[in-house]
Structure 1
């Protein structure tokens, strides 16, 4: 009996000792490595883009810098093509997606999300000749109109779901889609409101009409691997902290209330 008891005791102790190792997640890996690896695609103004010096800058980048500082580690940006960003996360190419990703139910089947950090919606950049003729996305729902967006995005999904009768063409980048409308080869570009606002300011003067009322609800959130609840818990607490201590507001004003950063992109 004593031998059985001793055996059980050893097994229990072994299980307790092994438990922390078994539950080690991304947070532990980040702290052990000494760096936070963030995956993003630098093409979504003003969230992430490349300046004249080749540096990746933007709203998400500044938040990531603050996040790494809160962890006491270095920040490592991993530039990743949008269509492969979730697979890259799942194969541990980086720790977290911070790339203006909309939290959708479809994506949530593959990865976990922290609480949304900003809410946007789809808007329209319209060919100037259609001013007054097209007043909302509903007016574009006609085979005579050519509508464009970016491949694999919620902009593309919104067009297919809500403007199904229009001719749709997808592009690899946002810039290609906008220029298709600027050059008169398409009638409308559908994309997230912050990007369309910046693109209109950059390239749309006298060439585009900005229908700025969002027609979808899209919460943007940080994505992590499924089951990593300790990381999600930390991220939610981090977000709550920066939204209440003024950090988030300062970063938001820099990228959404000012256009001074546009000079860094001009060539």
Structure 2
């Protein structure tokens, strides 16, 4: 039996309404009743969260996810997601809260709640060390001979689409291996958040370096992105405030970056 036009119309209207009013999937009461907090992590953004070869994730926000679950009195379930599917996975109720270096953007804030900001960062280029003094501005990057590589679905791709128009831009599907594209000469640079630039420069010491830009190209808060439920946001912010005030988050981020 097919689904009639009235039913199809109702579903379409329901999806439109959900997109306009925001995510309201599992409230805090349902999370506690289930006994599990589902945290969405891409696992490809060090030092926030990185998936190791054997599949386990480490990083500052992996530690924070465990701490948050304990504060709520529930177990933790890590739900793998991607930057490209981050919004759709939250809308589909596949996880309750996204962590792992999520930037605060107006379109994300329109459909779900953000926690208190955990840090602020901005876009900078990472380059081969010999080019550290070469790519110090967008004007220096926006040239036909310059090859820029970007990972799909997140604010790095958005930034490149909006600001890198004169260079050749190529999308590389895996953020965990994208820095090898620059290190091995298949691309000249990647533009990403400063924390990742600094982390990957240390990891590829002597090969990759931060470009000597006078300041980041932009600034954005990073926060935790969650199902729209006032009780859940209050609980997350109530747990997070002393973590930030005490310096525990900064210490976790610094430790993960070593």
- TM-score, length basis structure 1: 0.80
Unmatched 5+ stretches in structure 2: 1-23
Q: Once the 2 structures are TM-superposed, how far is the Cα of residue 234 of structure 1 from its aligned partner?
A: 1.9
Higher helix share: 1
Give the secondary-structure state (helix, strand or coil) at the position aligned to 1:106. helix
Which aligned pairs between 1:204-219 and structure 2 lie closer than 5 A? 205-211=205-211, 213-219=215-221
Q: Which has the larger radius of gyration?
A: 1
Q: Is the 8 A contact 1:68 1:74 kept in 2?
A: yes
Greater RCO (CA < 8 Å, at least 6 residues apart): 2
Give the whole-Å Cα distance in 2 for the aligned partners of 1:193 and 1:249: 15
Structure 1 Cα separation of the partners of residues 202 and 106 of structure 2: 32
- Match of 1:12? none
Structure-2 change in CA distance of 1:215 and 1:24 (3 Å): closer
Comparing 232-241 with 63-72, greater Cα deviation is found at 232-241
What TM-score comes out, normalization by structure 2 length? 0.82
CA contact (8 A) 2:142 2:167 kept: yes
Would the aligned equivalents of 1:128 and 1:208 in 2 still touch at CA under 8 Å? yes
Query: Matches of 1:223 and 1:131 in 2, distance apart?
Result: 34
Number of residue pairs the alignment of both structures matches = 233
Aligned partners of 1:136 and 1:211 also within 8 Å: no
Residue in structure 1 matched with residue 30 of structure 2 by the alignment: 29
Using the TM superposition, give the Cα deviation of residue 229 of structure 1 relative to its aligned residue in structure 2, in angstroms: 2.0
Deviation at 1:129, TM superposition (A): 4.4
Q: Name structure 1 gaps, 5 residues minimum.
A: 1-22, 260-267
Give the alignment of 1:155-166 within 5 angstroms.
Answer: 155-166=156-167
1:38 maps to 2:39 = yes
